[in-house]
Chain A
């Protein structure tokens, strides 16, 4: 365990290790108790509701377990639990469950849809909540409104180049492989919002900085770097996200392993832009 990490995070890492170690117990037909946040609409008051589920197989994904719960609710004439999900391959960034207090659950570098029930044990009780942040208001049950992320991107996350078909040849500017790889890594953010949910300040700096870094690392992004960082940071603040206090929880919980260095790079880009005016 890393010394510099807060205890909360170290405990989580420990959990992951423990979960891995007791991996192969009875994982054929597990009984679980789910405690799920139910909220009928944006203006309604929500509450935790307890549901038992049975016959859960270790090979099921977490969302397939939710499908079984919902099929049961529908057959009982109840209203199923609504949650965002789409690709179920860990890439679209739709799914967003706070599972036992951790964004996307106990397994590191994993989205909710890629979390499998073999990580849980027969008899477990699992708490499932939506992302909690002022900038991500609840729409229904586990679904939150993440359009604030879109607006941050709209403020400047692009290169202003039209699709004329007359841009220069793709190989005209060689880019150092290490830099290209780093830009790619920053660009793999899926915009799920786990970073915000993990942060005690509900800061969106990991998300915002990942995009700023991608462009800052590439020659194509340099031209507008100054405006970009200023506009995106301004929008981020307008949306009501908190500030970064370097706890590093965002990086630990990020399903794509987006690094804290991105935030450092954003801060330095911002400083540069401010000094340059």
Chain B
């Protein structure tokens, strides 16, 4: 078992990044013009990286499977973005943001990376405002903040429930500016199908034009993978339908280690599944937990009556309700981190207290907030003798301003009015903390292949705190990668243009074409979705919110069998030389069928409970996660094997020099 070198700079934590930047190699502006960089993915990390690299002078090509970079799934992030600005004067600092993030990740992330993230967080907000991102403001004209789970300060910047949209459109505008200057060539409706290595270095990609079906070769001095997470291995998730692991997995197949695949975030507040036809799940932002209270009936008979449609939640008296998060975790209440909230909801529903037809839903109730905000609004608007109905009406207006789009979305999907009855929510797969292993420079184990944003594993440990994903995506893309990549590219100034007419490109293209042929030539028994849904069910039941050794072992066996069946019997209609969405899906599901098995293997290897990874064998008597720092304070980085259960484990030991490892308590 080799030990991985994280290349974390020496020196005091708070000085590492500055010192590192002062000492890494730079590429002079004239030489940058002769260097090409490929960026795969145009979400927050990809767009911001591509724009910044182009500003610096590199020639950039971007690739995305959508018809426009603006449609990357960062667009759907709702709640907000963290930054240690301390505008609220509530004692926030870089160190606090660093500490909360390390603790929130259950001490399974790298100190130096997380501190760097906190350090640049403020710059992100400055940059976005300068770009014209319309964040929410207070009446005085200054930026507004809200709170998110797992922290005790207000450091989250937001734009209604559409923060991801506004940030992505900001990055997209920076991208467009460089496209207009000819510094970025966008390849939209394109998919990366392979990474090409020459002499052990990443030198380009094989891509498919999704409209014409043409297989293309693109050479570059470095390749950045910013293709997002792999939550769709569960079939049902809050990811977009097309979100996939292909780019990252192809890099993995070529030698990039894949880290912590089992660290997956199950988000507590999503709209519950309504039936078998369900194609995806919709998140209700965590920001709603600022104002909504989560509860279930205290008595089993009430829960049964509600499920049978004989009672409604609003009928229950206060004393018949169990606000289980406030009860179990009085210090953080409804704002405990996502993993904790999700497990607590599952525990109550498994015990029979669920409140919808399937028994898998809890209430998220805003009644108390209508009153609280209504009272303030009545007083400040001069209605000092308003009655309760008037107060509630005023309170609803305040809530509408804060979360109107989320309430509308809920009403549309669930066909219930959340202003009148409490929302019903249940946990769903949302974000993947695992991803390509990267060192401090965001370089994978393949020289010249970098990974940014959700596609890498680096900053969130075993659990991601709310409003941290947007922060990490933009930190990587705007402020980290464009500089660290220079350290590598400084050695490339004499390389010259990368030719794609080489044996390596020939070989990679051949493999790609053969793979497509094989997908087209299945016996045609079942559709791609048939396999994807089966895989999702195995993942959800056996690798979901709680896991045990027996289930994980059988998940590995079932996934391996399903994968073999897929390659033999899948049906991909149509041809390869036109737009063919079934072929696109088939390629993605083929990768998920490998990743799923590695995921289960990783979960089986990690004999502890930490963050989103809850092993039933390792829990305290009151059901809290039991971490094992002595044996598992490391990053699992897996070396590819086409039989994922045979993948080789490499470890990066995590050193904690600035925080004390304590039991993560939110009580």
Contacts and interface: CB of A to CB of B under 8 A. Distances in A.
A-B pairs, 5 with minimum CB distance: A174-B141, A158-B173, A184-B134, A167-B130, A170-B129
6 contacts: A77-B524, A87-B241, A92-B73, A158-B174, A170-B135, A181-B137
Given A114-B409, A143-B579, A158 B176 contact: yes
A163 B160 CA distance: 25
Given A87-B240, A90-B409, A180 B137 contact: yes
Contact of B67 (A145, A157, A175): A145
A165 B278 CA distance: 43
Interface string B127-155: 11111101111111111000000000000
B144 to A, nearest CB: 9
Contact of B131 (A158, A181, A184): A158
Contact of B143 (A73, A87, A153, A171): A171
A191 B70 contact: yes
Nearest to B524: A77
Nearest to B65: A86
A135 interface: no
B567 to A, nearest CB: 18
A101 B399 CA distance: 35
Listed residue (A78, A86, A143, A157) with the most chain B CB atoms within 10 angstroms of its CB = A86
Given A59-B275, A67-B279, A167-B130, A187 B140 contact: no
Interface string A114-158: 101010000000000000000000011001011101100111111
A59 B143 CA distance: 39
Interface string B430-448: 0000000000000000000
A220 B132 CA distance: 6
A184 B159 contact: yes
A103 interface: no
B179 interface: yes
A200 interface: no
Contact of A218 (B76, B132, B172): B132
A91 B162 contact: yes
A246 interface: no
Contacts of B68: 93, 146-147, 149-150, 191
Nearest to A75: B527
Nearest to B83: A170
Contact of A170 (B52, B69, B125): B125
Given A41-B578, A64-B279, A71-B529, A170 B409 contact: no
B275 A57 contact: yes
A168 B126 contact: yes
A23 B592 CA distance: 40
A114 B120 CA distance: 37
Nearest to B73: A87
B541 interface: no
Interface string A31-75: 000000000110000000000000001111101100110010111
Contacts of A188: 162, 165
B70 to A, nearest CB: 6
A253 B640 CA distance: 50
Contact of A116 (B55, B122, B413, B482): B413
Contacts of B139: 177
Given A88-B241, A168-B126, A170-B85, 16 more contacts: A61-B413, A64-B277, A67-B277, A77-B573, A80-B582, A84-B67, A92-B70, A114-B412, A147-B188, A163-B55, A170-B143, A174-B141, A181-B137, A188-B165, A190-B165, A214-B134
B143 A82 contact: no
B75 A114 contact: no
A137 B122 CA distance: 43
Interface in B569-622: 571, 573-574, 578-579, 581-582
Contacts of A89: 76, 280, 282-283, 409
Contact of A109 (B51, B52, B75, B408): B408
Contact of B279 (A82, A88, A163): A88
B interface, how many residues as a size bin?
35 or more
B415 interface: yes
A74 B571 contact: yes
Given A163-B48, A187-B169, A170 B412 contact: no
Given A63-B279, A64-B278, A116-B413, A175 B137 contact: yes
Interface in B613-643: none
A161 interface: yes
Interface of A: 40-41, 57-61, 63-64, 67-68, 71, 73-75, 77-80, 82, 84-94, 109-110, 114, 116, 118, 139-140, 143, 145-147, 149-150, 153-163, 165, 167-171, 174-177, 180-181, 183-184, 187-188, 190-191, 214-215, 218, 220-221
Contact of A161 (B70, B120, B130, B160): B130
Given A118-B415, A158-B177, A159-B131, A140 B527 contact: no
B70 A86 contact: no
A79 B579 CA distance: 11
Max chain B C-beta neighbours (<10 A), residue from A77, A139, A153, A167: A153
A58 B129 CA distance: 43
Contacts of B67: 84, 94, 145-147
B353 to A, nearest CB: 23
Contacts of A58: 415
Contacts, number: 220
Given A92-B76, A160-B177, A114 B142 contact: no
Contacts of A67: 277, 279, 529
Contacts of A87: 71, 73, 75-76, 240-241
A78 B574 CA distance: 8
Contacts of B87: 171
A54 to B, nearest CB: 13
B479 interface: yes
Interface in B397-420: 408-409, 412-413, 415
A114 B413 contact: yes
A155 B137 CA distance: 29
Contact of A184 (B71, B160, B176): B160
Contact of B240 (A41, A86, A110): A86
Nearest to B144: A177
Contacts of B69: 150
B290 interface: no
B211 interface: yes
A153 B132 contact: no
A71 B241 CA distance: 16
A21 to B, nearest CB: 15
A147 B189 CA distance: 11
B26 to A, nearest CB: 15
Contact of B173 (A84, A146, A157, A174): A157
Contact of B138 (A71, A114, A177): A177
Contact of A163 (B140, B159, B174, B278): B174
B478 interface: yes
A82 B579 contact: yes
B527 A74 contact: yes
B512 interface: no
A255 to B, nearest CB: 11
A164 to B, nearest CB: 8
Contacts of B241: 85-88
Interface string B32-64: 000000000000000010011001000000000
Interface string B199-227: 00000000000010000000000000000
Contacts of A145: 67
B330 interface: no
B123 interface: yes
A220 B131 contact: yes
B553 interface: no
B277 A94 contact: no
A112 to B, nearest CB: 12
